[in-house]
A = this chain, B = another copy of it.
Amino acid sequence: MKRSVTIKDVAQIAGVAHTTVSRVINKDSRITQATCDRVRRAMKKLDYQPNLIARGLVRNRTQVIALIGPEVANFFLPIIRSVAESSASRDYAMMLFSTNTWIKEAMSFEWVAQNWLVDGMLVYNLIHHPEVPPEIIKLKSRISPFVFINKFLREPEMNAVGVDNYHAVNLAVEHLVALDHRRIGIFYGDVTSVDGFERKDAFEKALRKAGVPVDPSLEFCGMWRDEDAFKETLRMLEGDARPTAIFCANDIMAIGAMRAIREKGLSVPRDISLVGFDDLETSRYIDVPLTTIRPPLADVGTRSVELLMDVLKDPTRPPQQIALHAELIVRASTAKPAG
């Protein structure tokens, strides 16, 4: 079953040296048409396929890149998709690793990099680091090139591609402020994650920029969860200092909030406006279609691959950070406040 046909078998059939066959495979220009044809015919006859592993060994590259990320997360699929497509179009195969399994310790994409199976890596690591940890800086010089996704977008020494949370959240806040909302709440996510931290931070910055005071009593950490948002919304609606709008750092929490608002007999957007973040497919279909932020995930994938290819081509090139802009999708869940 296994026993492969090698370059030497082809050479023998074609009556040339194995070197010549290799040249034909690699389209060396100084092979005569005649020998080329002969070799080609032999290859076809034997149904020869080059052994990519052997080639990888001598060339010291495999034409494989790794995508390392939290594949449990729904928002990761579009990125997987676009990375697969654009790496394939450049004749690279893609290996997929989950940060949940192989990559057990926080930083051990190092392992993936050091065993020479892949030429480069795209690393989507959710953990928020206020600045680039020294161990990562050290890694840079020692292992195959890597590009961070949705992280280190403002760190000049890293290669990174991602969605600009600050720009995105600002869109949401500006939208609400333009509708005359002044009491705007936020349900934010786990702040040990990049998105959790940045979206909350961005929210407060955007409020200040708009001249709206930040009110801590309207800020709640919903841990990205439907349930948490649901309960907190019920609680808020009991009190009398309720917000007129809530920005939710992901759509799931917005959906939870909406459920709670309806359960209280109130309505979206008449009583409370809601803005989400992610633009899940669901958000278009739910009862009150959700106004939300659509991150350009496909672009993130495409641009990451581009950047990685550039680095692969010229490993000495200075690091680059590419921050992509999200889009505000206005649907039915936002309106002017009732008062």
Point out residues on A near B: beta carbons under 8 Å.
Answer: 1-2, 4, 47, 49-54, 56-57, 60, 62, 64, 71-72, 74, 77, 80-81, 84-85, 88-89, 93-98, 100-102, 111, 114-117, 141-142, 144, 255, 280-282, 285-287, 315
Contacts and interface: CB of A to CB of B under 8 A. Distances in A.
Nearest to A282: B282
A158 to B, nearest CB: 16
Contacts of A1: 141-142, 315
A11 to B, nearest CB: 19
A53 B97 CA distance: 18
Contact of A56 (B53, B93, B141): B53
B77 A101 contact: no
8 contacts: A52-B116, A57-B57, A64-B95, A71-B80, A88-B98, A89-B101, A282-B285, A285-B285
Given A53-B57, A72-B81, A74-B281, A4 B96 contact: no
A259 to B, nearest CB: 8
A21 to B, nearest CB: 16
A64 to B, nearest CB: 7
A282 B116 CA distance: 41
Contact of A53 (B62, B101, B102, B281): B62
A292 to B, nearest CB: 14
A101 B85 contact: yes
B71 A74 contact: no
A64 B112 CA distance: 13
Lowest 10 CB-CB distances: which A-B pairs, in order? A49-B114, A88-B101, A282-B282, A287-B287, A52-B115, A53-B56, A52-B117, A88-B102, A77-B77, A51-B116
A101 B84 CA distance: 8
Contacts of A74: 77, 281
B62 A71 contact: no
A305 to B, nearest CB: 12
Nearest to A67: B96
A100 B115 contact: no
Contacts of A114: 47, 49
Contacts of A282: 280-282, 285-286
Contacts of A115: 49-52
A44 to B, nearest CB: 13
A60 B54 CA distance: 10
A211 B114 CA distance: 64
A93 B95 contact: yes
A308 to B, nearest CB: 15
Contact of A286 (B96, B97, B286): B286
A2 B60 contact: yes
A174 to B, nearest CB: 28
Contacts of A96: 80, 84, 94-96
